């Protein structure tokens, strides 16, 4: 406040010394300059904080292949193991995507497992929703996700020219908290593994959580795994 009072006093003195006919014009110009200065200060503050200067990520993501089948349900010829359900995505251009802030959602008809395979439980089929909370290795199956995406996750970025392979067995095993979440007909009491029915369509979205925008949305028909 003291700074503003000093500026006001100086401007008041200046206006008194200006010829009477020019006072309104000079006053208007001074007020305009003050307005510009205040706007510039606010803009600089916002830019420095980074809270409102976040540019959305832009990338071209292609869904190269999608194959799989239901696990333990239906005709034997139409079944596939969870690890045989694979979706391959290719980054063809645009920004490098930080794995810790990118999510992937997949919707379609499929199934997951309730219980512990080999220790009781059964497959649950219906409208399947799969969410990869992020694309880092944490909370993932090391023998599936980490092995399939070793080069991509090495530097924490999904760069142009790199592929990302999603597998129905990507969820963490054992007591580790999985970063892959699976629900069937809204029921999330599953083992977080998944399989999509061959011949049906899936919808996949690549999402920038920080920018809160959908980077890519793709559809594909599931081909029966060989």
Predicted pLDDT of residue 45: 46
pTM of the model: 0.75
Place of tokens 């944490």: 138
Predicted pLDDT of residue 212: 86
Q: Count of CB atoms within 10 A of residue 145's CB?
A: 26
DSSP letters, 75-129, are -GGGB--GGG-EEEEEEEEESPEEGGGEEEEEEEEEEEEEE-TTSSEEEEEEEEE
Place of tokens 């799989």: 68
Span 62-84, mean pLDDT? Answer: 94
Angle between helix axes 23-49 and 2-17 (nearest 10 degrees) is 150
Read off the pLDDT of residues 185-219 as tens digits, 9 standing for 90 and up: 999 999 999 999 999 999 999 999 988 899 999 99
Counting Cα atoms < 13 Å in the Cβ hemisphere of 55 gives 7
Q: Give the domain ranges of the chain.
A: 2-49, 59-224
Span 104-130, mean pLDDT? Answer: 87
């Amino acid at each position: 406040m003291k700074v503003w009072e000093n500026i006001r006093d100086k401007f008041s003195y200046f206006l008194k010394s200006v010829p009477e006919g020019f006072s309104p014009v000079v006053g208007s110009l001074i007020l305009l300059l003050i307005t510009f200065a205040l706007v510039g200060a606010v803009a600089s503050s916002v830019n420095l904080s980074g809270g409102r200067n976040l540019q959305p990520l832009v990338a071209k993501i292609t869904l190269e292949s999608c194959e799989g089948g239901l696990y333990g349900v239906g005709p034997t010829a139409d079944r596939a193991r969870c690890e045989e359900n694979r979706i391959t995505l290719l980054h063809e251009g645009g920004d490098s995507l930080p794995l810790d802030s990118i999510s992937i959602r997949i919707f379609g008809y499929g199934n997951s497992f309730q219980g512990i395979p080999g220790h009781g439980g059964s497959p649950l089929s219906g409208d399947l929703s799969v969410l990869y909370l992020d694309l880092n290795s944490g909370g993932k199956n090391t023998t599936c996700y980490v092995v399939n995406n070793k080069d991509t996750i090495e530097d924490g970025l999904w760069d142009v020219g790199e592929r990302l392979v999603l597998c129905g067995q990507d969820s963490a095993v054992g007591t580790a908290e999985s970063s892959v979440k699976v629900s069937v007909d809204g029921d999330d009491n599953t083992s977080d593994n998944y399989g999509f029915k061959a011949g049906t369509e899936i919808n996949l979205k690549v999402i920038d959580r920080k920018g809160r925008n959908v980077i890519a949305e793709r559809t594909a028909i599931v081909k029966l795994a060989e």
